[in-house]
Amino acid sequence: MSYKIDLSGGILTFTIDRPHIRNAINDEVIQGLEELVAQVHNHDPQFVIITASGEQAFCSGGDLSVYQHLRTRNEAYPMLKKMGDVLYRIKTLPVPVVALVNGMAVGGGCEIATACDYRLVRSHAKCGFIQGTLAITSGWGGGTYAMETIPHAEALKMLSEARVYTAQELLENGWATKVVESEAGVEAFFQSMKKIRPEVHRAYKEIAIRKWQSSHLKDRVNEEIRLCAELWEADAHHDAVERFLNKKK
């Protein structure tokens, strides 16, 4: 299985479990995220955590060995939309969603972390919207969420530079909630959050969801997905993916 879902101490944890491929996202992981959303509504946890196996990567984005076969905008759109839809459902879950960024989060991996309410970033982790180096934009909603999460200039810079940022840089631009050296830092975060009753956390999440609904966040995400699909079919994108996949051959 490419993922794990565990419930413990009122926390539902989703772990991407493909460390050999830097926890890249394939269709099975997308289905797992859809299962995560269903389990939140079944088990009523206090918090949701999204993380990944190993220390090297949180997530390296879409699995290029699989998605390289999507050539046209019409072929790419269904994958982008399916992942974009489940990421929106994760963002609008009725409880706080915490990304434990255990390692590199690049491309769609950075989008997943950005969709979460909080980002606890390990000090060695580097994260960035590197889609620009593949001649596309974010395509799962992450660009829209970045504009919601950090100041405009910082978001536009992070998206447009298409590079990885250090944990310290991510703390300075507001993307990282906290840089954690070890599990103790994560534990301290949850001990603090658990001092407040679940119904208060849910009420504040409701306020955020109402803001996103009234500002048509979902429509903005859908436009991002459409634009990414358009750029996807250009030779510049396919050539960049080809270079990555052939880099070691």
Ligand X SMILES: CC[C@H](C(=O)O)C(=O)SCCNC(=O)CCNC(=O)[C@H](O)C(C)(C)COP(=O)(O)OP(=O)(O)OC[C@H]1O[C@@H](n2cnc3c(N)ncnc32)[C@H](O)[C@@H]1OP(=O)(O)O
Residues that bind ligand X (CB under 6 A): 21-22, 24, 56-57, 60-65, 67, 80, 104, 106-108, 130-131, 134, 139-140, 228, 244, 248
User: Closer to ligand X at the Cβ: 80 or 150?
Assistant: 80
Bridge partners of residue 14, in order along the sequence: 5, 50
Strand 57-59 versus strand 11-16 pairing type: unpaired
| Shortest distance in whole angstroms from residue 187 CB to ligand X | 27
Q: Considering only CA atoms, which of 161, 133, 166 is closest in space to residue 247?
A: 133
What distance in Å separates the CA atoms of residue 142 and residue 226, rounded to the nearest whole number? 13
User: Closer to ligand X at the Cβ: 97 or 104?
Assistant: 104
Which amino acid appears at position 39 of this protein?
A: Q
| Shortest distance in whole angstroms from residue 184 CB to ligand X | 26
| Shortest distance in whole angstroms from residue 220 CB to ligand X | 16
User: Closer to ligand X at the Cβ: 60 or 114?
Assistant: 60
| Shortest distance in whole angstroms from residue 101 CB to ligand X | 13
Bridge partners of residue 208, in order along the sequence: none
CA dihedral 206, 202, 223, 49 (to 10 degrees): 170
User: Closer to ligand X at the Cβ: 76 or 100?
Assistant: 76
